[in-house]
Amino acid sequence: VLLDVEGMMCGGCVARVRGQLMQDYRVESAAVNLLTETAAVKLRPGCGKEVGSELADLLTGSGFPASLRSGKGQDDNAGRKIEELSKKRKESLRKSTQKVAFAWTLVALCCGTHATHLLHFYPFIHDFMHSPVMEVAHDPVFKCVVALTTLLGPARDLVVDGGKAFLKRAPNMNTLVGFGAWAAFSISAMSLTIPELNWGAPFFDEPVMLLGFVLLGRSLEERARIQASSDMQRLLSLIPAKSRLQVSEQANDENLTVDVATEQVRAGDRVLVLPGEVIPIDGTVVIGRSSVDESTVTGEPMLMTKTVGDTVSAGTVNWDGPIQVTATCTGASSSISSIIKMVEEAQGREAPVQRLADTIAGPFAFAIMALSASTFSFWYFLGTHIFPDVLLNDAAGPEGNSLLLSLKLAIDVLVVACPCALGLATPTAVLVGTSLGAKQGLLLRGGDVLERLQSVNAVVFDKTGTLTQGHPNVSTVTSGSNDFDKDRILQLAATVEQHSVHPIASAIVEQANTQKLEMLVSEGQLTEPGYGALARIDGKVVAVGQPRWVQECCLKLDSMESTDEVERKLGNLLADRQSMEQSSTTVYVGVEGVGIVGAIALSDTLRADAKVTVSRLRDMKIRTLILSGDRKEAVASIGRTLGIEGDSLFAQLRPSDKSKFIAKLRDGGSIVAMIGDGVNDAPALASADVGIALKLQNKIDAASDAASVILLGNRLSQVLDALSLSKATMSKVYQNLGCALAYNLIAVPVAAGVLLPGYDFALSPSAAGGMMALSSIFVVSNSLLLRLHR
C-alpha cells in the first residue's frame, strides 16, 4: 500500500514514521521518502487493503497526517499527487518567502545599528546615529520586543511544531532550533531584568539572526527541492489538456472535430493531431503519415516515421503532417502515466546506504539535547576551572561569567546540529537521478537498483530480440517427408503460432500470410516457454520448436531418432546450410505419429549498437555473456561477431536453466545484470541482481514487470547510459552523506567549545544557525548538479 504522509521535516521524522509502521505486526517492510512525502508499505501475506487505512490513522495520531492512496486509478492518482505536491511546495515557498522577508526586516531593525558603527565616519551617518530614532533602536527593550516579535511572528510555526514534537517525545529539527532560540532570548531577558547577574549587555540580536538564517535556509532548501522534482512536473506537462475528437462519420473528413478534455477521451475514440501538436493518447495511426519526436518518452532524438498501423504514445510530438489516431490507452492507462507512476514508486524505494543515515538521524535530536546538557555541565562545573582563560572570551560577558559561557555553548550545540542534511543526502540524489533517467528513456526502479547497478561486474544478454533486432524473417523452409511439402509445413507452423507474440512466431505467420496460405482449424494451443508451441490440427498434435521437444511431443520415446540424426537429415535438404549455421535460427515442425517433418530457418539482424555496447562494457572491465535458447551455431556466430569468447556463450537453454546459471554466477561473487526482452526472459531477469528489459511495442509486459530497469528507447546502448547514471547518482549520494557526517562531526564539537582553550574561538548562536542552514542547502544543491550529467 502507498501512504501520503505530511509533516516530515528531517531524517529523524522519516525514522519515526518508519518506526511507527514497523511496530505493527502486519507490516513486513516500509520505505519512507522525505521528498515525495510517501510511505510504501509491504504487508504480510493475508492482510487486506483495509490495513492501509488503519496505518494512516496510526500515523495521523502520531503527528504525521497521512492518507491511503487509493488503488483504483493509481496511475492517475500518482500524477495528480505529484501536481498537488508541486502546488503545495510552491505555496509553501510563497509563505516561506514572506516569512523570510518579515524576519530579515526584523533582523535589520535589531542589528542594523551594527552596520552604522562601521560607517560612522560619514557625516550624515554620524548625525543619524545620534538621532532619536537610533536611540530607540539601541534601546534593549526595543530589541527585546523585536526578538519576541520574531519568535511569535515569522518563526511561530517552527517554534510551535518543535514544542509539540518534544511533548510527544519525538523531538525534531524544529525542537532544537526552537529551544536554542528561546534559550538565547531567555538569557538576554534575564540579563536585562536582573542586572545583578553582571552578564553585560543583552544579546537579543542573536535569536533574531538565528531564526532569520534558519528561515532563509528553509526557503532556499524548499526552492532547491522544487527544482529537484521539476523533471517529474515536466513529464506531467507533456499531456495536452485538450484533444481534437473526430466526430465525423466519414473516415477521411478532417474538419468535423470537437475539442474535449483529454481525460474524457476513451479507448476506440479517434483523435486528430495536427503538425506541431503533442499526441494526447496512446493509439494506432489509422489515417495519415508523419514524423514523430519520441524523445520525451524514449530518449531517442531521431524522428520516427509513423504511418497507418503504427503505434504512437501520449506525450510525443507530431511534426510533419496531420494524422488520425484511434485511442488504445488513455489517462491513467497511457504509457506516460505508467512511467510517472513507476518513477514515483522508484523515488520511494530507498537505497540500502540510506538506512545508515536514517539509523543516525532517528535518535539524533535526543543525542544533541543530551550533548547540549553535557556541554553546559562540563563548562559550568569543570571546564572553566580547568581552563580559566576561556572566561576572557566575549561569550563569557564582560565579567567572565561561567554560567553565561556555559549557557551560550549549550545553545550553540542545539542550533548547529543538523539531521536534515543526513535525511536529504540520499533521497534528493535518487529523486534527481531517477527523474533524469526518465528524461533519457531509462526507467530505474529506485535507489536500491541504482546502488546495485553501479556495482555490476557481469552482464548477461539474451540473443533473440536483445542482441538482434527481434524481427526475424523466414529465409528457408525445408521438408523431411514426401507427405509434407514446404507450403504445408509453413501452413502447419503458422497455424500453431498464430496466437503467439514471440518474434519468431510472428515471422512465421507473416510469411504464411505473404504466401496467402490460409490458417487451418486448430484447437488446444499451448506455448511452452523456451521450447516451442503446439496445437491439435485435424485431430493430430503439431509441434513447432526445438527438435528434441518436438520429437517428444510427436513420437514415442522408443521410436525417436536422435536429435543429431534429425538435424543431419534436414541439413542435407536445406538449400543454404552454411548460411543457416552462421546467422539463422531454425525451428522444427513435427506431426503426431510421424515425427519431425520439416524445418524453418529464420534470419535476424544484429542490432546496430550491439557491437559498440559489448565493446564498451569490456573496456569497463565488465564480463559479457550470452544465454540463449537458440542453436549452438547461431549463438556462436553472434559471439564471433561481437567478440565474446566461447566460454561465455551458452546455447539451447530453457528459462529455468538461465535462472540457475545466473544464480551460479551470483554464488561465485559476481554482481549480475541480465538483459532480455520477452516473457521467457522474465525468470532470469527476476533472478539477477539487476534485471534490464527492453520495452517493445509501447507496452509494459512480463519482462518489464520482472525487471529493475526498463530501456524505454529500446536501444541496447542505453545499458551504458544506465550504468553511467547509476555511478554518477551514487557518487552524489556518497558525497552528500560524507559532507553531512563531516559537518556534524566537526561543527558540533566546535560549537561545544573544543577550540576555546587553545584558540579562544567560540561560535555565536546566529553563526551556528547560519552554518546549520547552509549544510542542508549544500546537500540539495549538490544533488541538483547531477542534472548536468550527460
CB 591 within 8 A of CB 459: no
pLDDT category at 73 given cuts 50, 70, 90 is: very low
Model confidence at 316: pLDDT above 80: yes
CA 166 and chain centroid, separation? 33
Choice between 446 and 32, residue whose per-residue pLDDT is larger: 32
Average pLDDT over residues 725-735: 93
**Residue tagged 466526430 (cell numbers):** 247
- For the cut 50, the answer to whether the pLDDT of residue 431 exceeds it is yes
Rounded mean pLDDT of 536-552?
A: 90
C-alpha span between 66 and 55 (Å, rounded): 8
* Residues 270, 244: Cα–Cα separation, whole Å: 9
pLDDT in tens, 30-40: 888 777 788 88
- Tens of pLDDT, residue by residue over 171-207, are 877 888 888 889 889 988 988 888 887 777 777 888 8
Residue 133's pLDDT is 60
Residues 92-103: pLDDT tens digits?
888 888 998 998
Quick: pLDDT tens for 246-276. Answer: 876 554 555 578 888 888 888 888 999 988 8
The pLDDT of residue 673 is 95
Contacts of 193 (CB under 8 A, 6+ apart): none
Burial of 50 (0-12, 13-18, 19+ CB in 10 A): exposed
Residue 416: pLDDT over 70: yes
Mutual orientation of helices 11-22 and 364-378 as an angle, nearest 10°? Answer: 120
**Residue 598 belongs to what H/E stretch?**
strand 595-603
The amino acid present at 700, given as its one-letter code, is: I
Question: What is the rounded CA–CA span in Å between residue 23 and residue 55?
Answer: 10
Yes or no: say if 75 and 333 are a contact pair by the CB < 8 Å rule.
yes
Does residue 543 register a pLDDT over 90?
yes
Convert the pLDDT of each residue in 506-529 to its tens digit: 899 999 999 999 999 999 988 887
Ordered structural domains, the chain, with CATH: 2-72 (3.30.70.100), 85-230+349-427+735-788 (no CATH), 241-333 (2.70.150.10), 437-464+610-726 (3.40.50.1000), 473-603 (3.40.1110.10)
Q: Could you report the per-residue pLDDT of 374-414, keeping only the tens digit for each?
A: 999 999 999 999 999 999 988 888 888 899 999 999 999 98
Instruction: Read off the pLDDT band of 570 (50, 70, 90).
Output: low
Mean pLDDT of 523-542: 89
Question: Residue 342: pLDDT above 70?
Answer: no
Provide the pLDDT for residue 222.
Answer: 76
Q: Is 60 exceeded by the pLDDT of residue 698?
A: no
Model confidence at 116: pLDDT above 60: no
What's the start-to-end Cα distance of the chain, in Å? 35
DSSP 389: G
Q: Which has the higher per-residue pLDDT, 5 or 419?
A: 5
306: cell is: 509513423
Residue 225 or residue 529, greater confidence? 529
pLDDT of residue 577: 44
Rounded to the nearest 5°, which phi and psi values hold at 472? -70, 155
pTM confidence score:
0.70
Alpha-carbon gap, residue 241 to 439, rounded angstroms: 21
Question: 251-259 long-range contacts, Cβ below 8 Å, gap at least 24?
Answer: 251/286, 251/287, 252/287, 254/322, 254/324
**Interval 469-519: pLDDT, tens:** 877 889 889 888 888 999 999 999 999 999 887 778 989 999 999 999 999
Residue 657 burial class via C-beta count within 10 angstroms: exposed 0-12, middle 13-18, buried 19 and up: middle
Q: What is the pLDDT of residue 326?
A: 92
CB 280 within 8 Å of CB 239: yes
Average pLDDT, stretch 774-780?
85
**How far, CA to CA in Å, does 221 sit from each of 64, 93, 218, 451, 746?**
21, 9, 5, 25, 22
DSSP conformation class of 633? H
Q: Which three cell numbers stand for residue 184?
A: 538565547
pLDDT classification of 610: cutoffs 50, 70, 90 = very high
Active-site residue list: 462
Which cell numbers in the block locate residue 46? Answer: 493475508
Quickly state the pLDDT bin for 564 (edges 50, 70, 90).
low
- Quick one: pLDDT at residue 578? 39
Choice between 382 and 88, residue whose per-residue pLDDT is larger: 382
The pLDDT assigned to 582 comes to 41
Confidence of residue 72 (pLDDT cuts 50, 70, 90): very low
- Residue 580 in this model has a pLDDT that exceeds 60: no
Q: What is the dihedral of CA 210, 216, 218, 222, to 10 degrees?
A: 180
Per-residue pLDDT tens digits for 227-249: 666 655 666 666 787 888 887 65
Average pLDDT value for the chain:
82
649-697 per-position pLDDT tens digit: 998 888 888 889 999 999 999 999 999 876 567 788 888 999 998 875 5
Stretch 10-23: mean pLDDT:
84
Residue with more model confidence, 597 or 559 = 597
